[in-house]
Amino acid sequence: MNDNFSKKYGQVFLKDHNIALKEVSFLSPEDNECILEIGPGHGILTEQLLKYNINLTVVEPDHRFVDQLNQSYNNFIKSGKLKIIKADFLKLAPGKYDKIIGNIPYQISSKIVFKILDYDFKMAILMVQKEFAQRLVASPGTPDYSRLTVNSGIRSQIKILYNVSRNSFYPVPKVDSSIILIEKREYNIDIKKFDLFLIKLFSMRRKKISSIIDYHGIYSDKRPYELTIDQLIEVYSQS
């Protein structure tokens, strides 16, 4: 295995094949589906995915892993079952896939999740840092409830499916991970404007809403982190 790990983005590599099987099982690939894998690395998920009758596209920025994948799965590439794109996923134009899967570098988890939400897809299975997963699914009134929770929650339904020990990775990170499910949901709001509103509110999350913005409705004495997503949308529409 290549020991030149990419530490720039907090990248570690899954070594537990049982966990890889579990991720792919959660994804539940169906015949002829178009599936996108983000950051395949050495191909521990790729190997399992190619056991299904699917059309698989993988996006990998590191030429070393691209070369390794080309050698390992040359027959699948020739048959058209596998397509390898050497690129930074964050720089690609959003596309359409049935399902998305990937083990995500810790330090760019937020950027990747929101990039994924720009794609047209049914569901995504991602491995992320456990603390990040908890922030995504946090409840109002808790310390983890944040702008991240609201922004992702307005555009998708997210669930934590399984927690994974740090010992399932190499090099062994200082934190555990979680497998999450993302399912897109419809929304009818200007996301960019709403995000600016959230930035203002959550920069002063412990202050009363009426002291942060010009709002005097039924939630004026509440603090931003105490409101549900629907309540925050209501405040936004009235401010």
Q: Is the pTM of this model over 0.85?
A: yes
Annotated binding site for S-adenosyl-L-methionine: 14, 39, 60, 88, 103
- Which band of pLDDT confidence, cut at 50, 70 and 90, is reported for residue 11? confident
Does pLDDT of 114 surpass 70? yes
Query: Which residue, among 4, 64, 2, 19, has the nearest Cα to 177 in the 3D structure?
Result: 19
Q: What is the DSSP letter of 220?
A: T
Q: For the chain, list the domains and their CATH numbers.
A: 13-184 (3.40.50.150), 191-238 (no CATH)
Annotated binding site: 14, 39, 60, 88, 103
Mean pLDDT of the chain: 95
Average pLDDT on 93-112 reads 97
- Which band of pLDDT confidence, cut at 50, 70 and 90, is reported for residue 232? very high
CA separation for the pair 167, 171 (Å, rounded): 9
Average pLDDT on 205-226 reads 97
162-182 burial code (b ≥16 CB/10 A, e <16): eebeeebbeeebeebbbbbbb
pLDDT computed for residue 77 by the predictor: 98
